[in-house]
Amino acid sequence: MYEQFFGLREKPFNLTPDPHFLYLSTVHREAIDHLYYGLVRGEGFICIYGEVGVGKTTICREILRMLDERFVVSYVLNPFLTEKELLRTILGDFGVEVPGKGTKKDLMDALERFLLRCADEGRNPVVIIDEAQNLSPALLEQIRVISNFEGNKRKLIQIVFVGQKELREMLAKRGLRQLNQRITVRYEIEPLTREETARYIHHRLVKAGSRGDLVFSERAVKRIHRKSSGIPRLINVLADRALLSAYVRNSFLVDVRDVKEGEKSLGEADGLFPKRRGLLAFLTG
């Protein structure tokens, strides 16, 4: 709606992840460094966690782009699976054909043969599980069993858990102590600071085609950061609505009044923004 008025090629604050708009803050770069280091070093279990909308999927996509041909990756987006479905998903991603009616043992045997072949060829199989906080106890046990595949010097498969903060609490439970002790690389992705929020907004405006005449005031950025708690997904929501308000005013300066108007249009001005969890539920429900 407002793109033509502001001279933009596209909307700068879409919620859909887009590599063209990739912005890596200090914490995102550190998370990528930890994850990449763990994979290159052959660590068996790696865990990355953070709040909803903080950029975990962005980091996963960047890691997938960085990994070279030594790595063969299964990226599990849906954790609501049975043990057999998980095994079939992993084998399918690895390009392994399995019988349609194979038992769980058949699937495990096929996976072991593939992992041994990869070890002989110098390849590193990796399983990345997104939304890992939703894994059932049965799936966690299955993953632990998969992680038992090992050669003389190293693990034959690496597991990466990516999830919300509840993942850390879940893994700390006594019943998962054995699995938790195997995680050797951990990193929590923190929200953006106010300064990073300003850079993030500017970065997305430039990527969308802004020539520098479209500006968010310091007070506008400050309020967006406070209301969003520095979570990129929420920054996008507020910044988009603030742009719409500025467009209605025919202004290229997005001020704090526009942010407040954006909050009102979401029905969040006096309720869900301060509580944050309510807004997160609003955006993910």
Q: What is the pLDDT of residues 167-194, one digit of tens each?
A: 988 988 878 888 888 999 999 999 999 9
Report the share of the chain in percent with pLDDT over 90: 74
| pLDDT for residue 175 | 83
Render pLDDT for 227-255 as a digit per residue (tens, 0 to 9): 999 999 999 999 999 999 999 999 999 99
Q: Rg of the chain's alpha carbons, rounded to an integer?
A: 22
- Name residues whose C-beta falls within 8 Å of residue 145's C-beta, 6 or more positions apart in sequence: 108
| pLDDT for residue 99 | 72
Average pLDDT, the chain: 90
Residue 69 has pLDDT above 80, yes or no: yes
Q: Is residue 214 a contact partner of residue 205, using CB atoms and an 8 Å limit?
A: yes
What phi and psi values does residue 188 have, to the nearest 5 degrees?
Answer: -105, 125
Instruction: Identify the band that residue 271 occupies on the pLDDT scale cut at 50, 70 and 90.
Output: very low
Token readout for 197 is: 């929020």
What's the 3-state SS for the chain? CCHHHHCCCCCCCCCCCCHHHCCCCHHHHHHHHHHHHHHHCCCCEEEEEECCCCCHHHHHHHHHHHCCCCEEEEEECCCCCCHHHHHHHHHHHCCCCCCCCCCHHHHHHHHHHHHHHHHHHCCEEEEEECCHHHCCHHHHHHHHHHCCCECCCCECCEEEEEECCHHHHHHCCHHHHHHHCCEEEEEEECCCCHHHHHHHHHHHHHHCCCCCCCEECHHHHHHHHHHHCCCHHHHHHHHHHHHHHHHHCCCCEECHHHHHHHHHHHCCCCCHHHHCHHHHHHHHC
Q: 273-276 long-range contacts, Cβ below 8 Å, gap at least 24?
A: 273/227, 274/227, 276/229
Beta-ladder partners of 253: 215
Set out the domains of the chain in order of their start, with CATH numbers: 3-7+192-284 (1.10.8.60), 26-189 (3.40.50.300)
